[in-house]
Amino acid sequence: MDDLFQVGCVGLMKAIDNFDITLNVQFSTYAVPMIIGEIRRYLRDNNPIRVSRSVRDLAYKALQIKEKILKETQKEPTVEEIAKELKVEKEEIAFSLDAIQDPVSLQEPVYNDGADSIYVIDQISDTKGTDEHWAENITIAEIMKKLNERERMIISKRFFDGRTQMEVAAEIGISQAQVSRLEKSAINHIKKMYE
């Protein structure tokens, strides 16, 4: 918010510098668009993910068409219907709508039961099948032997098989919260042994 306030002040200063008092226009009529423009420029240029203006424009048109079709038919339109209305390929519509979505942190909590949180990263599978760090593998294998059977199974399924906590929970017949707790406990044991 502080950055946006400062950028707004820059817009105000530009408005003061460029305002022509000989014209029969109130200062606020000139200054407000200058301030808004400066803030929009800042947000556009400092966004962590840059999306081209043409892609953004297509996405906003698609959203407008979506609203129009929804009002007319009382049902959610498909990507194909939106693409047909705008006379573009459905892949372009899907790409543009994906491009304007806000990025999500892997550390963002998706569930909290008061004690433990489940994060986005806990919901993602790891599909890499190769591992080049053989020395680390030997160390990890030795540490894994020191874990109890349940902890070893959860760590193996989560980090070596690339399964999500939900998948592990379904496989061994316990809740995802329990998997999360056991996983954290096993990681703490590993940390202590690794030190």
Q: What digits encode the pLDDT tens for the residues 49-75?
A: 677 788 888 988 999 999 999 999 988
Cα 22 to chain centroid, rounded: 49
pLDDT range class, residue 40, cuts 50, 70, 90: confident
pLDDT range class, residue 48, cuts 50, 70, 90: low
Is residue 135 located within the same domain as residue 178? yes
DSSP H or E segment with residue 180: helix 176-194
**Structure tokens given for 122:** 């806990």
Q: Taking residues 7-27, what's their average pLDDT?
A: 91
* CATH code for the domain of 70: 1.10.10
Is residue 94 located within the same domain as residue 67? yes
Cα 193 to chain centroid, rounded: 34
Q: Taking residues 37-59, what's their average pLDDT?
A: 80
* Cα distance between residue 123 and residue 179, in whole Å: 12
Is residue 145 located within the same domain as residue 173? yes
The count of domains in the chain is 3
Write the DSSP assignment of 14-77 as a string of letters: HHHHH--TTSS--HHHHHHHHHHHHHHHHHHHT-SS---HHHHHHHHHHHHHHHHHHHHHSSPP
Is residue 41 located within the same domain as residue 69? no
Does the structure show a pLDDT above 80 at 193? no
Is residue 123 located within the same domain as residue 157? yes
* Cα distance between residue 183 and residue 190, in whole Å: 10
Q: Judge whether 169 lies within some domain.
A: yes
Is residue 80 located within the same domain as residue 117? no
Q: Judge whether 104 lies within some domain.
A: no
Q: Taking residues 177-193, what's their average pLDDT?
A: 84
The answer to whether the pTM exceeds 0.85 is: no
Is residue 74 located within the same domain as residue 94? yes
Q: Taking residues 19-30, what's their average pLDDT?
A: 89
Does the structure show a pLDDT above 70 at 195? no
Burial of 62 (0-12, 13-18, 19+ CB in 10 A): buried
Q: Taking residues 35-46, what's their average pLDDT?
A: 84
**pLDDT tens profile 77-113:** 898 999 999 999 989 988 888 887 777 777 788 777 7
Is residue 149 located within the same domain as residue 188? yes
Does the structure show a pLDDT above 80 at 33? yes
On whether the CB atoms of residues 34 and 14 are closer than 8 A, the answer is yes
Q: Which domain holds residue 32?
A: 2-45
Is residue 95 located within the same domain as residue 126? no
Is residue 92 located within the same domain as residue 122? no
Q: Judge whether 143 lies within some domain.
A: yes
Examine the fold and report which residue of 45, 61, 77 is the final residue of a domain before the chain moves on: 45
**pLDDT tens profile 121-177:** 777 765 554 455 566 667 777 778 888 888 888 888 888 888 888 888 888 888 888
Name the β-bridge partners of 112: 117
